[in-house]
Amino acid sequence: MDVKQTRYAEDLRLIEKYLGGDEYAVEELVMKYQRKVYSLAYRMTGDIEDSKDVTQKTFLQVFANIRGFRKKSSFYTWLYRIAMNTCLNHLKKKGNDTLELNESIAGSNGNALPALIKEERSSFIRGSLKKLPDRQKTAVTLRAYEELSLKETAEVMKCSEGAVKAHYHNGMKRLKEILSASADSPGRKGEGI
Amino acid sequence: MRPGHEEIKDKLPEYISTGNIPDDVKEHLRSCDKCSQEAFLLQELNKVQVPEPGGLFFETLPQKVRASVRQKKKGFLFRFVPVFTLIALVVVTGYIYHTITPPLTEEELFTDPFAIQVFDLSGLSEDDIPPISVDIADDEIYLTEETSLYREFASLSSEEMEDLYEALEIKNRNGGVL
Ligand SMILES: [Zn+2]
């Protein structure tokens, strides 16, 4: 059995345990996945408090709906799906106010990506990622960070593998454009990206 | 067989995020601009650090979620308790109100529209009920809105009644035409 299969079997065992009345299985499942969910939320929101909020909400959603979990997919792709939806809802509710902050960081540094110090560079890349449309942002985040295969990403996003490829490709293309535009044009100060 | 461009492109995210890049993939990256640019961008994305949440977040979250899940379960069992409580409350209040309310005074009996049901008529004799007299002059009986058709008939003399019967019989024979 490979790592993913072992993980799958263990998740199922914990879910059965919980459904059988053992509420401590909740703690085990949360402990197992909380860092993953938190990281995912941070990649999507770029804010610590938002990520904590999203992580907690995700797990509450998971246990509120666990009877609806069909064992056709793996638990963690199902969990990721709930986490992603919670993130996107959270971002929608919050609007784009944090985006401007990242933009101004990028703008005030002459827009030259290689010249940015490490922290600003991270913030700039994160800010660029946040600017992508929801589907592209989700595909790029899941593929780039979560070690999910095309098939698993398609499961999380509830679309075909072909659609995942397209969203991922368009998202990466747009990111490249954003990053190269900012690196190539040191003169366009204050224009943003 | 060496993996081709498409295959490598599809698997690049996994190679980069795990840091596990096979040699033939490395070789392809050296010769393919598209893939190497994408690998570079993926590396940049992976460099973005996730800060620790702090405040014992990971230490307390599992318990918090468990407590909340338990609360929800209880909530499910007792979801209908407020409804039952409300119904019981209404019944008890009605019963108490019924038993502790003093009987209505005579005046209340007349002014309270709901008191009619408890109005006791058993002690009344015929003499206690005043006669209802309506004074209507003979010439006012006919064709006013208040008078009924029967009164109109009652006022007819016996000859007039006979004439009416006769007329009605003719009408019957003629199929409704006088
Ligand atoms: Zn290539």
- Which residues of chain A are within 8 Å of residue B37 when distances are taken between CB atoms? 176
pLDDT digit string, tens, across residues B87-133: 888 888 888 877 777 666 666 656 665 655 555 666 777 677 666 66
> Which among A51, A140, A147 has CB closest to B53?
A51
Which residues of chain A, if any, have pLDDT below 70? 1, 96-119, 183-193
d(CA A123, CA A107): 12
- Six-digit token pair at A34? 């909380």
Pseudo-torsion of CA A4, B36, A171, B50, nearest 10°?
60
Is B58 in Cβ contact with A35 (below 8 Å)?
A: yes
Q: Is A35 exposed, middle or buried (0-12, 13-18, 19+ CB in 10 A)?
A: middle
Predicted pLDDT at B89: 86
CA of B25 to the centre of ligand 1 (A): 9
CA of A116 to the centre of ligand 1 (A): 29
Q: Is residue B155 part of a domain?
A: yes
Is A147 in Cβ contact with B14 (below 8 Å)?
A: yes
CA of A191 to the centre of ligand 1 (A): 34
Is the pLDDT score of B159 beyond 60? yes
Is the pLDDT score of B18 beyond 50? yes
- Which residues of chain B are within 8 Å of residue A34 when distances are taken between CB atoms? 58, 61-62
Q: Is residue B25 part of a domain?
A: yes
- Six-digit token pair at A9? 């079997």
Q: Is residue B167 part of a domain?
A: yes
Per-chain mean pLDDT for chain B: 77
- Which residues of chain B are within 8 Å of residue A24 when distances are taken between CB atoms? 66
pLDDT digit string, tens, across residues A119-163: 677 778 888 888 899 999 999 999 998 878 889 999 999 999 999
Is the pLDDT score of B136 beyond 90? no
Would you say how long chain A is, in residues? 193
At residue B78 the predicted structure's pLDDT band, cuts being 50, 70 and 90, is: low
Question: What percentage of chain B has pLDDT greater than the value 90?
Answer: 19
Q: Is residue B72 part of a domain?
A: no
Least trusted range by pLDDT, from A188-192, B84-88, B165-169, B173-177? A188-192
Predicted pLDDT at A2: 77
Q: Is residue B126 part of a domain?
A: no
CA of A151 to the centre of ligand 1 (A): 21
> Which among B50, B63, B65 has CB closest to A63?
B65
d(CA B117, CA B126): 21
Angle at B57 between CA A39 and CA A9, to 5 degrees: 60
> Which among A30, A34, A145 has CB closest to B46?
A145
**Nearest chain B residue to A49, by CA:** B53
- Which residues of chain B are within 8 Å of residue A118 when distances are taken between CB atoms? 47
Interface test with B, best of A14, A29, A34, A156 (most B CBs within 10 A): A34
Q: What is the ipTM of this complex?
A: 0.79
Predicted pLDDT at B64: 95
Q: Is residue B148 part of a domain?
A: yes
Predicted pLDDT at B112: 62
What Cα–Cα distance (Å) separates residue A51 from each residue in A36, A38, A90, B95?
11, 6, 10, 55
Predicted pLDDT at B106: 65
Model confidence, pTM = 0.63
Is B66 in Cβ contact with A24 (below 8 Å)?
A: yes
Is B10 in Cβ contact with A165 (below 8 Å)?
A: yes
Domain that holds residue B32: 5-51
Predicted pLDDT at B14: 87
Structural domains in chain A, CATH included, are 1-96 (1.10.1740.10), 112-193 (1.10.10.10)
In chain B, how many domains are there? Answer: 2
- Which residues of chain A are within 8 Å of residue B66 when distances are taken between CB atoms? 23-24, 26-27, 30
